[in-house]
């Protein structure tokens, strides 16, 4: 019997076989969409982004110049590092592709789950995460906010709570009788983080993608379920007609929907049936507009993309709880370079074996640093991979190259962080 993968966003999961996620969690391979992505990010081209849920809706919006959004955020519980940079890069790429960009500092989660004082949450949120985000290229037309200071997010979380229950939350997150209520509520706040990008104040309902590592998938699944339950009406495809059904009787809204649709329309107290009109997208649009007029949200289900975890420099997952496994974006470039030189590689035991058998770059943290962050040129990274596999390249040469490029990157990034301090007012923030 195959053991199922257990995911918990507050643990340090490390997934060895990503292919299992497609069948077990209903994730689709991203490579199936790659040909339709305009100017794809290197993470997409290199299969670092490996899976998605409903990303086609984002591509449709891109190609038709319709509004769409991107949202993600971080719990300020440790230093910002290269693993966090991956998500920031994905947010910034989508912003450049035309997305309304939302970046949340999960200080309520940090306070509830990790016990971090509010003042520290604020200081670390700005001094670590926000400064790096801006230095990497996040534009001021995006939205940066703290959960605890955002009334729209907290109010929405309260509303979402009506559609969630304890047994469901326990099944998804592993909550027990010892889990305190604030911890549970912080999960709902994260659902509100994801969905608030569709509020009227931010342009109304639109496709929104959440770039995450797969350990965060419980949040995505819960939020998609709740978003569906928050709808006042449901559009259902039947054998030979389409039916719009109300969650609660609403005769006025039913008539408004019927009056706005073409075809053979029959009106009932709790539903409208439409014949001779198979334009589901048009019907959905009409229903959503009526729902909003009657005080609903008209939410679309959020999309998501999933990237592979970076390996820690010492093996396993890169995690803030293990300082030797990470390279922080704020640490000394020289210290980071020394970590790279000591990193676990995919080389053989002896140089003779390396020449004879070839290396294993797919198991090498030095190669991952080059692949994920330090080399943009596809021909160059392909050459390194091939030479390693063929035994023409030694681990020492890759470590030396990665260390040199890491020093260069960190120096430039930290200079950008200093410049970002002078720009915080552009984002409505201050230190």
Give residue-wise pLDDT tens across range 353-373. Answer: 667 777 788 888 888 999 999
Q: Distance (Å, rounded) from C-alpha 212 to C-alpha 88?
A: 10
Q: How far is CA 277 from CA 108, 274, 352, 407, in A?
A: 47, 6, 71, 61
Give the pLDDT of residue 310.
86
For 96-120, the pLDDT digits (tens) are 999 999 999 999 999 999 999 999 9
Confidence band of 17 (pLDDT split at 50, 70, 90): low
Q: How far apart are CA 213 and CA 12, in angstroms?
A: 11
Both tokens of residue 15?
Answer: 């997934």
Q: Check residue 216 and give its pLDDT.
A: 86
Determine the pLDDT at residue 270: 85
- Residue pair 402/409 in contact (Cβ under 8 Å)? The answer is no
Mean pLDDT of 212-228: 91
For residue 13, pLDDT beyond 70: no
Compute the average pLDDT of residues 327-342: 95
Residue 18 binned pLDDT confidence (cut-offs 50, 70, 90):
low
Tell me the mean pLDDT in the region 85-100: 98
For residues 306 and 51, the answer to whether their CB atoms sit within 8 Å is yes
Distances (CA, A) of 387 to 48, 56, 392, 395: 21, 36, 5, 11
pLDDT tens digits for 137-164? 999 999 999 999 999 999 999 999 999 9
- Per-residue CA distances from 312 to 131, 133, 309 (Å): 23, 22, 9
In this structure, the number of other CB atoms found within 10 A of the CB of residue 413 comes to 17
What domains sit in the chain, N to C, each tagged with a CATH number? Answer: 19-229+301-307 (3.40.50.620), 233-293 (no CATH), 331-427 (1.10.240.10)
pLDDT at 382 over 70: yes
pLDDT digits (tens, 9 = 90+) for 186-207: 999 999 999 999 999 999 999 9
The DSSP secondary structure of 285-317, one letter per residue, reads HHHHHHHHHTT---PPPPEEEEEPPPBPTTSSB
- Written as one string, the DSSP assignment of 163-211 is G--HHHHHHHH---TTS-HHHHHHHHHHHHHHHGGGSGGGTSS--EEEE
Q: Is the pLDDT of residue 393 over 60?
A: yes
Instruction: Grade residue 50 by pLDDT with cuts at 50, 70 and 90.
Output: very high
Task: Determine the Cα–Cα distance for residues 227 and 339; give it in Å rounded to an integer.
Answer: 44
Q: Does 7 have pLDDT greater than 50? A: no
Buried b (16+ CB within 10 A) or exposed e, 261-278: beeebeeeeebbbbeeee
Given a cut of 60, is residue 1 above it in pLDDT?
Answer: no
Q: What pLDDT score does 76 carry?
A: 95
CA 248 to chain centre: 33
Does residue 68 surpass a pLDDT of 90?
yes
């Amino acid at each position: 019997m195959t053991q199922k993968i257990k995911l918990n966003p507050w643990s340090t999961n490390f997934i060895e076989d990503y292919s299992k996620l497609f069948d077990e969690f209903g994730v689709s391979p991203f490579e199936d969409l790659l040909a339709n992505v305009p100017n794809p990010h290197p993470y997409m081209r290199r299969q670092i982004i490996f899976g998605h849920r409903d990303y086609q809706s984002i591509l449709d919006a891109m190609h038709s110049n319709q509004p769409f959004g991107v949202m993600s955020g971080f719990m300020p519980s440790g230093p910002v590092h290269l693993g966090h940079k991956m998500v920031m890069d994905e947010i910034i790429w989508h912003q450049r592709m035309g997305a309304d960009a939302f970046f949340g500092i999960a200080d309520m989660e940090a306070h509830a789950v990790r016990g971090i004082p509010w003042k520290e949450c604020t200081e670390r949120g700005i001094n670590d995460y926000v400064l790096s985000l801006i230095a990497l290229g996040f534009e001021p037309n995006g939205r940066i906010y703290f959960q605890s200071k955002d009334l729209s997010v907290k109010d929405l979380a309260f509303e979402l709570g009506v559609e969630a229950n304890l047994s469901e939350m326990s099944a998804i997150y592993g909550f027990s009788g010892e889990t305190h209520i604030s911890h549970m509520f912080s999960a709902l706040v994260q659902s509100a983080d994801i969905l608030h990008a569709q509020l009227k104040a931010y342009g109304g309902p639109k496709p929104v993608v959440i770039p995450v590592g797969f350990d965060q998938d419980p949040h995505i699944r819960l939020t998609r379920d709740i978003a569906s339950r928050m709808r006042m009406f449901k559009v259902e495809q039947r054998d030979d007609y389409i039916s719009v059904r109300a969650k609660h009787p609403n005769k006025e809204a039913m008539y408004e929907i019927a009056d706005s649709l073409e075809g053979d329309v029959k009106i009932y107290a709790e539903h409208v049936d439409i014949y001779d009109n198979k334009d589901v997208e048009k019907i959905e649009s009409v229903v959503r507009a009526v729902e909003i007029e009657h005080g609903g949200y008209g939410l679309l289900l959020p999309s998501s993309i999933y990237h592979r975890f970076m390996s820690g420099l010492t093996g396993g997952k890169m995690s803030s709880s293990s300082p030797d496994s990470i390279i922080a974006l704020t640490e000394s470039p020289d210290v980071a370079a020394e970590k790279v030189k000591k990193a676990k590689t995919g080389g053989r035991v002896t140089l003779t074996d390396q020449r004879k058998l070839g290396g294993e770059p797919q198991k090498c943290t030095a190669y991952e640093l080059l692949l994920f962050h330090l080399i943009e040129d596809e021909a160059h990274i392909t050459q390194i991979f091939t030479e390693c596999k063929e035994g023409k390249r030694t681990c020492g040469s890759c470590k030396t190259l990665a260390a040199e490029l890491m020093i260069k990157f960190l120096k430039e990034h930290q200079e950008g962080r200093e410049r970002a301090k002078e720009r915080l007012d552009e984002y409505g923030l201050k230190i």
